[in-house]
């Protein structure tokens, strides 16, 4: 087994980042002008990185598959962003945010990275305020906070239920300023298909122009992957329809290790699946658990009546309601972390207490907080979420409880990176959800926005200089280099192969099949038998995919089906690696729940002796088994305990 070098600086936890910053190299302003950086993805991580790097003087080329950088799926984050400001005087601190994140991640994240994340969290809020992000305010003019799952303090900053939107528009505005000044070359409707390495270093990417169908070459001195997560491997998820694992997956296929692929987050509060015609799930913000109480009926006969539509939830008296989160976890109650809340919902539904026609839903009830605070207060806090719920379900959550059920939401796993956020390919970086580094086995609510912006505003802009300082003599990359020619040809061949199958089934039909297998066997509960079955089934779907895929339309033009086919091709491979990783990790931790490893009370049981490591998978070529490398996780500060929210 190779020991991976995470490059975590030595020394006390509190000094690691400042000492590291002092030790790494910087690039002079005159030299920054000569260096090009490619950023793939324009969400919070990519957008903030692109803007910051351009402001510093680098030449940035940014890419997104949507028609504008503002559409990246960070925009849909609702609840908020964490920061250790201690504005509420509730004894919050950098250490407490660090500790909550490590514990919330079930002790599978790096101490050094997470402490740094907590350290820079406060600066993010300052930056966003300076950009004009209209955070919620108190009457005195100061910033307002609310609570999120897995913590006992109020450290979440928010802009109604549209925090992600406002933060993204903040860094998008900064990007726009740099595009206007010619420091960012923006490529919308452009999808990355491959990475070009020359002499072992990342030197560019190959993309497909989604409007013309042309395959293009783009060169740079460094490449940053900020393409988000791969939740869409499950077909139904809270991700946007276009979210894909493609850029991260191409990094993997070019030799970058993929970290903890089996760690995906299942969000407890999504609108339940309504039927076969569904293509997308909608999240209801975790912030709702501040004021909503989660319950199912105590009596099975009530559940059965609810399932048959013979009874209304309002007919059930308080005594007959089982507030199972408050019952099982009295100290955190409805605000337990996402993995815990999701499993508890599944447990109730599996026992037959689900409340809708499919039996796969629980209630999130605002009756009590409306009684306590008044409808106006609840409307001011969550009005847009309630409206969204009503539009989708045609039910009014002010009058009857919301129905919710867990759904795939976020990927903690991603491209393996060191402390500098560089992959094991020199010059290739991965930031935001696309990397694996900060959330361990489970991400806490309001921490994705924090991590994306921490990476993009305050970490990558420093650490990338350490690498680029040695590249100042490297001339602008020659895009006629044989490697570019080769990779462009390979990308064209790959797309032609898919286009020329000329079978009979749509891309979606394969995606749906894959999603069903993933949800049933690599979803909320996993076991050895199921995972082995999933690996076999995925192989069969792949085989059918290459035999029977049909892509109508033309090759050299806008072709939506061809775009989707490339993404699903990646998902089919990614799903296989996720199942392998889940099979290998025979412990339960965070969102990864192995039925073989549970406590007597049915909680996830870690196996620290055998699994306190990051799985980093190495691609060995088509048809070859990937190789597992282990990065041991060293805990110098935190003591590993069985996580309890009781």
Partner 1 sequence: MADKILKELTIRVWRQKDAKSKGKLESYKINNISGGTSFLEMLDILNEELINKGTEPIAFDHDCREGICGMCSLFVNGRAHGPDNDITTCQLHMRKFSEGETITIEPWRAGAFPVIKDLIVDRMAFEKVLQSGGYISVNTGGVPDGNAIPISYDDAEEAMDAAACIGCGACVATCKNSSAMLFVSAKVSHLAKLPQGRVEATRRAKNMVAKMDELGFGNCTNTGACEVECPKGISIANIARLNREFLSATIKE
Binding partner 1 (rule: CB under 8 A), the pick from 1, 152, 241, 627 is 241
Footprint on residues 409-448 left by partner 1 (CB under 8 A): none
Binding mask 6-45 for partner 1 (x = CB under 8 A): ----------------------------------------
Please identify, using beta-carbon distances, which residue of 10 and 392 lies nearer to partner 1: 392
Residue 234 CB, nearest approach to partner 1 (Å)? 15
Burial of 640 (0-12, 13-18, 19+ CB in 10 A): middle
358 near partner 1, rule: CB under 8 A: no
x/- mask, partner 1, residues 366-385, rule CB under 8 A, reads: --------------------
503 binds partner 1 (CB under 8 A): no
**253 or 512, CB closer to partner 1?**
512
Minimum CB separation from partner 1 for residue 431, in Å? Answer: 14
Euclidean distance between CA atoms 20 and 15, whole angstroms: 8
Helices (H), 105-185: 111-131, 163-180
Q: Taking CB under 8 A as the rule, does residue 473 contact partner 1?
A: no
Three-state DSSP class for 517? helix
Q: Is 338 a catalytic residue?
A: yes
Q: Which residue has the tokens 């729940």?
A: 593
Least separation, in Å, of the C-beta of 90 and partner 1? Answer: 15
Residue with tokens 């806008």: 558
CA dihedral (22, 28, 31, 35) positive or negative = positive
- Site for partner 1, residues 585 to 624, rule: CB under 8 A: none
List the catalytic residue out of 71, 338, 343, 513.
338
* Cβ-based nearer residue to partner 1, 131 or 584: 131
Measured distance CA(576)–CA(536) in Å, rounded: 9
In b/e form, how buried is each residue of 240-258, taking b as 16+ CB within 10 angstroms?
Answer: bebbbbbbbbbbbbbbbbb
| Residue of 254, 285, 289, 257 whose CA lies nearest to 270 | 285
DSSP class of 259? E
Under the binding rule (CB under 8 A), the answer on residue 166 touching partner 1 is: yes
Residue 188 makes contact with partner 1 by CB under 8 A: yes
Residues listed for the chain: 646
Choose between 75 and 262: whose C-beta lies nearer to partner 1. Answer: 75
3-state secondary structure 294-347: EEEECCHHHHHHHHCCCCCHHHCCHHHEECHHHHHCCCCHHHCCHHHHHHHHHH
Identify which of residues 20 and 183 has a Cβ nearer to partner 1 in the complex. Answer: 183
Of 252, 265, 196, 259, nearest to 6 by C-alpha is 259
- Name residue 143's beta-bridge partners: 137
Question: Tokens at residue 505, please?
Answer: 């089934």
DSSP 283: B
Pick the stretch among 164-172, 221-229, 619-627, 633-641 that binds partner 1 (CB under 8 A). 164-172
CB of 55 to partner 1, least distance (A): 4
* Binders in 209-228 for partner 1, by CB under 8 A: 211
Residue 133's H or E segment, with its range, is none
240 makes contact with partner 1 (CB under 8 A): yes
The correct pick among 508, 520, 548, 608 for binding partner 1 (CB under 8 A) is 508
Cβ proximity to partner 1, 263 vs 389, nearer residue: 389
Rounded to an integer, what distance in angstroms lies between the CA atom of residue 344 and that of residue 642? Answer: 17
Residue whose CB is less far from partner 1, 157 or 419: 157
Q: Looking at residues 280 to 339 of the shown chain, list those that interact with partner 1 (rule: CB under 8 A).
A: 280, 282-283, 309
C-alpha span between 527 and 150 (Å, rounded) = 26
What part of residues 42-81 is at the interface with partner 1 (CB under 8 A)?
Answer: 48, 51-52, 55, 66-68, 70-73, 75-76
**Calpha distance 289→272 (Å, rounded):** 17
CB atoms within 10 A of CB 11: 13
| Residue 478 in tokens | 């020659």
Pick the closer one to partner 1 by CB: 135 or 257. Answer: 135
Q: Where in 513-552 is the site for partner 1 (CB under 8 A)?
A: 550, 552
Q: Considering only residues 249, 258, 457, 619, which one is a binding residue for partner 1 as defined by CB under 8 A?
A: 457
**CA-to-CA distance for 103 and 129, rounded, in angstroms?**
29
State the Cα–Cα distance between residues 606 and 597, nearest whole angstrom: 7
Q: In Å, what is the CA distance from 476 to each residue of 28, 158, 383?
A: 17, 42, 52
Contact 137, 105 (CB under 8 A): no
Residue closer to partner 1, measured from CB, 326 or 508: 508
- From 40, 179, 266, 364, residue interacting with partner 1 (rule: CB under 8 A): 179
Query: Exactly one of 131, 527, 586, 598 binds partner 1 (CB under 8 A); which one?
Result: 131
425 and 201 in contact (C-beta within 8 Å)? yes
Using CB under 8 A as the criterion, what x/- string covers residues 248-287 for binding partner 1?
--------------------------xx-xxxx-xx----
Please report whether residue 137 would count as binding partner 1 according to CB under 8 A. Answer: yes
Question: What DSSP designation does 643 have?
Answer: -
Structure tokens belonging to residue 83? 């920061």
Q: Which of residues 101-130 bind partner 1 (CB under 8 A)?
A: 122-123, 125-130
Between helix 94-104 and helix 111-131 the angle, nearest 10°, is 120
Which window, 159-167, 358-366, 518-526, 611-619, contacts partner 1 (CB under 8 A)? 159-167
Strand partners of residue 598: 604
- The C-alpha atoms of residue 400 and residue 310 are separated, in whole angstroms, by 15
Instruction: Spell out, one character per residue from 568 to 587, where the chain touches partner 1: x when CB under 8 A holds, - when not.
Output: --------------------
Nearer to partner 1, 85 or 630 (CB): 85
Residues in the interface with partner 1 (CB under 8 A) total 85
Stretch of 156-164, 254-262, 297-305, 521-529 contacting partner 1, by CB under 8 A = 156-164
Sole binder of partner 1 in the list 13, 60, 169, 498 (CB under 8 A): 169
Select the residue interacting with partner 1 from 2, 387, 599, 610 (CB under 8 A): 387
Q: Which stretch binds partner 1 (CB under 8 A): 26-34, 168-176, 191-199, 411-419?
A: 168-176
Catalytic residues: 338
């Amino acid at each position: 087994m190779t020991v991976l070098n995470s490059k975590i600086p030595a020394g006390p936890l509190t000094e690691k980042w400042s000492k590291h910053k002092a030790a790494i190299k910087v690039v002079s302003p005159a030299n920054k002008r000569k260096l090009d950086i490619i950023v793939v993805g324009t969400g919070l991580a990519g957008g903030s990185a692109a803007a910051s790097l351009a402001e510093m003087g680098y030449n940035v080329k940014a890419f997104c598959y949507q028609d504008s950088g503002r559409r990246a799926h960070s925009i849909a984050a609702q609840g908020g962003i964490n920061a250790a400001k201690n504005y509420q005087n509730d004894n919050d601190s950098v250490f407490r945010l660090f500790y909550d994140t490590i514990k919330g991640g079930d002790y599978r994240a790096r101490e050094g990275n997470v402490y740094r994340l907590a350290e820079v969290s406060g600066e993010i809020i300052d930056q966003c305020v300076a950009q004009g992000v209209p955070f919620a305010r108190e009457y005195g003019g100061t910033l307002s906070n609310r609570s999120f799952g897995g913590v006992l303090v109020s450290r979440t900053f928010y802009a109604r239920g549209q925090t992600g939107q406002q933060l993204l528009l903040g860094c998008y505005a900064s990007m726009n300023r740099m595009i206007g000044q010619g420091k960012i070359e923006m490529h919308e409707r452009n999808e990355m298909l491959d990475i070009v390495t020359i002499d072992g270093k990342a030197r560019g990417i190959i993309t497909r122009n989604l409007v013309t169908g042309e395959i293009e070459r783009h060169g740079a001195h460094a490449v940053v992957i900020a393409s988000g997560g791969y939740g869409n491997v499950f077909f139904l998820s809270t991700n946007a329809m276009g979210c894909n694992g493609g850029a991260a997956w191409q990094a993997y296929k070019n030799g970058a290790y993929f970290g903890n692929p089996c760690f995906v987050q299942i969000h407890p509060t999504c609108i339940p699946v309504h039927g076969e015609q569904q293509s997308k799930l909608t999240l209801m913000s975790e912030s709702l658990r501040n004021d909503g109480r989660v319950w199912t009926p105590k009596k099975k006969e009530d559940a059965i009546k609810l399932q048959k539509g013979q009874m209304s939830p309002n007919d059930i008296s308080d005594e007959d309601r089982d507030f199972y989160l408050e019952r099982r976890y009295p100290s955190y109650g409805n605000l337990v972390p996402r993995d815990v809340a999701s499993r508890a919902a599944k447990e109730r539904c599996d026992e037959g207490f689900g409340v809708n026609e499919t039996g796969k839903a629980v209630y999130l009830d605002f009756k009590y907080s409306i009684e306590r605070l008044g409808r106006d207060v609840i409307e001011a806090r969550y009005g847009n979420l309630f409206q969204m719920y009503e539009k989708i379900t045609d039910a009014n959550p002010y009058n009857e409880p919301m129905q919710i059920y867990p759904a795939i939401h976020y990927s903690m796993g991603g491209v393996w990176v060191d402390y500098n956020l560089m992959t094991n390919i020199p010059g290739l970086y991965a930031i935001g959800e696309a990397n694996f580094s900060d959330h361990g086995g489970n991400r806490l609510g309001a921490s994705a926005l924090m991590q994306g912006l921490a990476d993009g505003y305050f970490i990558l802009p420093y650490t990338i200089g350490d690498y680029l300082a040695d590249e100042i003599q490297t001339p602008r990359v020659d895009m006629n280099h044989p490697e570019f020619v080769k990779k462009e040809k390979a990308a064209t061949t790959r797309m032609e192969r898919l286009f020329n199958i000329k079978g009979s089934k749509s891309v979606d039909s394969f995606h749906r099949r894959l999603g069903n297998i993933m949800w049933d066997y690599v979803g909320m509960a996993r076991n050895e038998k199921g995972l082995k079955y999933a690996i076999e089934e995925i192989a069969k779907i792949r085989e059918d995919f290459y035999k029977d895929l049909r892509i109508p339309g033309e090759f050299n033009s806008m072709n939506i089906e061809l775009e989707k086919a490339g993404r699903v091709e990646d998902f089919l491979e990614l799903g296989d690696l996720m199942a392998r990783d889940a099979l290998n990790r025979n412990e339960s931790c965070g969102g990864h729940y192995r039925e073989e490893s549970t406590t007597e009370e049915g909680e996830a049981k870690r196996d620290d002796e055998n699994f306190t490591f990051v799985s980093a998978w190495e691609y060995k070529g088509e048809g070859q088994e990937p190789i597992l490398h282990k990065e041991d996780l060293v805990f110098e500060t935190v003591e590993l305990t069985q996580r309890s929210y009781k």
